[in-house]
Amino acid sequence: MEKLKYALFTGCTAKESTPEQMMSTLAVANKLGIELVELTEASCCGASHLQDYDDFLSLVLNARNIAYAEKHGLTMVTICNTCQLNTAMTKHRLDNNAELKAKVNAKLAEVGLEYKGTSQITHFLYAIIDDFGLDKIKEMVVKPLSQFNIAPFYGCHNIRPSELQNATHKSPENAYNPTSLDDLIIACGGANVDYAEKNKCCGFHAELQSPRTAAVLTGNAVAGAMDANADWMVTPCPLCHLKLDTQTHHASVAIGREVSLPVLHMQQMVGLALGCTPAELGLSHHVTKVDFI
Amino acid sequence: MDSLKTQQVTFKVFRFNEETDYLPYYNTYTLDVTHEEVVLDILNRIKWDHDGSLSYRRSCRHGICGVCAIKTNGKAVLACKTRLFDLIDIFGNEITIEPLSTKRAIKDLIIDKKDFWDKHAQAKPYLEADIDEHPAQENLVSPHDAEKLLEADYCIQCGACHYSCPSLEINEQYMGPAAFAAAYRFSADVRDDASIERLHIVNEEAQGVWDCVKCMECAEVCPKEVNPIEKITKLHNMIFEAAVAKNNVATRHAVGFAHSIEKHGLLDEGELVRYSEGNIGVLKHVPVALKMFAKGKIVLPWNMPKSDKLDEIKKLVKSSSTVKF
Ligand code: SF4
Ligand code: SF4
Ligand code: SF4
Ligand code: SF4
Ligand code: FES
Closest residue, chain A, to B249 (C-alpha): A209
User: Which residue range is the domain that position A52 belongs to?
Assistant: 5-123
Mean pLDDT for A81-103 is 98
Chain segment A200-224, per-residue pLDDT in tens: 999 999 999 999 999 999 999 999 9
Q: What pLDDT does residue A2 have?
A: 81
**Is the distance from CB of A125 to CB of A158 less than 8 angstroms?**
yes
Same domain, residue pair A103 and A176:
no
Q: What pLDDT does residue B117 have?
A: 98
Same domain, residue pair A59 and A78:
yes
Cβ distance of B211 and A61 shorter than 8 Å:
no
Mean pLDDT for B132-138 is 88
Mean pLDDT for B240-268 is 94
**Residue B133 pLDDT grade (very low, low, confident, very high; cuts 50, 70, 90):** confident
Q: What is the percent of chain B where pLDDT is above 90? A: 94
Same domain, residue pair A138 and A280:
yes
Chain segment B189-226, per-residue pLDDT in tens: 999 999 999 999 999 999 999 999 999 999 999 999 99
Q: What pLDDT does residue B139 have?
A: 83
Enumerate residues 6+ apart whose C-beta is below 8 A from B203. B209, B210, B239, B244, B245, B246
Q: Which of A132, A133, A90 is nearest to A115 (CA)?
A: A90
Mean pLDDT for A111-125 is 98
Length of chain A, in residues: 293
Annotate A54-91 with b (16+ C-beta within 10 A) or e (fewer): bbbbbbbbbbbbbbbbbbeebbbbbbbbbbbbbbbbbb
Cβ distance of A52 and B237 shorter than 8 Å:
yes
Same domain, residue pair A277 and A140:
yes
Q: What is the B315 CA–ligand 3 centroid distance (Å)?
A: 34
Q: What pLDDT does residue B262 have?
A: 94
pTM score, whole prediction: 0.95
Q: What pLDDT does residue B131 have?
A: 82
Q: What pLDDT does residue A41 have?
A: 98
Mean pLDDT for A132-156 is 98
Mean pLDDT for A125-143 is 98
Residue B138 scores a pLDDT above 90: no
Q: What is the B38 CA–ligand 5 centroid distance (Å)?
A: 11
User: Given the CA of residue B267, which atom of ligand 1 is nearest to it?
Assistant: 7
**Residue B4 pLDDT grade (very low, low, confident, very high; cuts 50, 70, 90):** low
Q: What is the A205 CA–ligand 2 centroid distance (Å)?
A: 39
Residue A19 scores a pLDDT above 60: yes
Peptide bond into A152 cis (omega under 30): no
Measure the CA–CA gap between A213 and A217, rounded to whole angstroms.
6
CATH number at residue A43: 1.20.1050.140
Average pLDDT, chain B: 95
**What is the 3-class SS of B213-275, one letter each residue?**
CCCCHHHHHCCCCCCHHHHHHHHHHHHHHCCCCCCCHHHHHHHHHHHHHHHHCCCCHHHHHHH
Tell me, yes or no, if the two domains B2-111 and B114-130+142-241 fold the same way. no
* Amino acid letter, B175: M
Same domain, residue pair A251 and A222:
yes
Cβ distance of A246 and B297 shorter than 8 Å:
yes
Q: What are phi and psi of B254, to 5 degrees?
A: -70, -45
Q: Per-domain residue ranges for chain B? A: 2-111, 114-130+142-241, 256-320
Mean pLDDT for A16-23 is 96
Residue A101 scores a pLDDT above 60: yes
Q: Pick B2-111's CATH classification: 3.40.50.2020, 3.40.50.1170, 3.10.20.30, 3.40.630.10.
A: 3.10.20.30
Enumerate residues 6+ apart whose C-beta is below 8 A from B190. B141, B145, B148
Q: How many domains does chain A have?
A: 2
| CA–centroid distance for A177 within its chain | 18
| Nearest CA-CA distance, residue B17 and chain A, Å | 26
Residue B77 bridge partners (DSSP):
B70
- CATH topology classification for B114-130+142-241: Fumarate Reductase Iron-sulfur Protein; Chain B, domain 2 (1.10.1060)
In the three-class reduction of DSSP (H, G, I as helix; E, B as strand; rest coil), residue B80 is classed as coil
Mean pLDDT for A272-290 is 97
